[in-house]
Amino acid sequence: MEKASRKNNGLFTYGDYITWPDEERWELIDGVPYDMTPTPNRYHQDISGTLLTEIALFLKDKKCQVYAAPFDIRLPEANQNDDETLTVVQPDISVICDQSKLDSKGCKGAPDWIIEILSPATSKKDRVIKFYTYERFGVKEYWLVSPDDKTVEVFILGENGKYGRPEYYTEEKIIPCYTLQGLSINLSEIFAEE
């Protein structure tokens, strides 16, 4: 990434981001780069894989699509083209129901539902920086999954464009999905350890 040059305002763009080495994983939030290392641990990946499978099975023959990281979500401000876009994230899991947002590069615009699986390295970013970013760009449903606590916080975007108070679920609960009516996630299966 050291070869990339900052723009006049000191920020990086998607135009810079796509020139960085493929073996490095980065996110841009408001033009600020965030390193995506270290690689998630096995338990994180187990949770991600189980959630992805549950959602994908539910979506069979439906219009919505589910994607797991690494999958670029470009969040441009009004009238920004791709090269000028200052925010590119790679959520652990994304569900997109508006097919017009999908292209060969990933997704351009807010997914309907995003799930982030917390780790010590990403917890603050997921709880604060990404929380406000997803809220600002209109992500309708945001889940924060905590493997350590075996809990899930669910945020739903209100009519005022803000997330309301979170709903908390513990490992023995079943979570109804608001974005995908009819889907429920059994946390005892999600947090099952071998």
Residue 182 domain boundaries: 43-190
Residue 9: per-residue pLDDT: 57
Inside any domain, residue 106? yes
Chain segment 152-174, per-residue pLDDT in tens: 999 999 999 999 999 999 999 99
Residue 194: per-residue pLDDT: 56
Inside any domain, residue 69? yes
Q: Which residues of the chain have pLDDT under 70?
A: 1-9, 194
Residue 142: strand pairing partners? 114, 155
Q: How many CB atoms lie within 10 A of CB 69?
A: 19
The span from the CA of 182 to the CA of 156, in Å, is 16
In what helix (H) or strand (E) does residue 153 lie, and over which residues does it extend? strand 151-156
CATH number at residue 96: 3.90.1570.10
Residue 100: which of 92, 91, 108, 90 has the closest Cα?
Answer: 108
Rg (alpha carbons) of the chain, rounded to whole number: 17
Inside any domain, residue 181? yes
Q: How many domains does the chain have?
A: 1
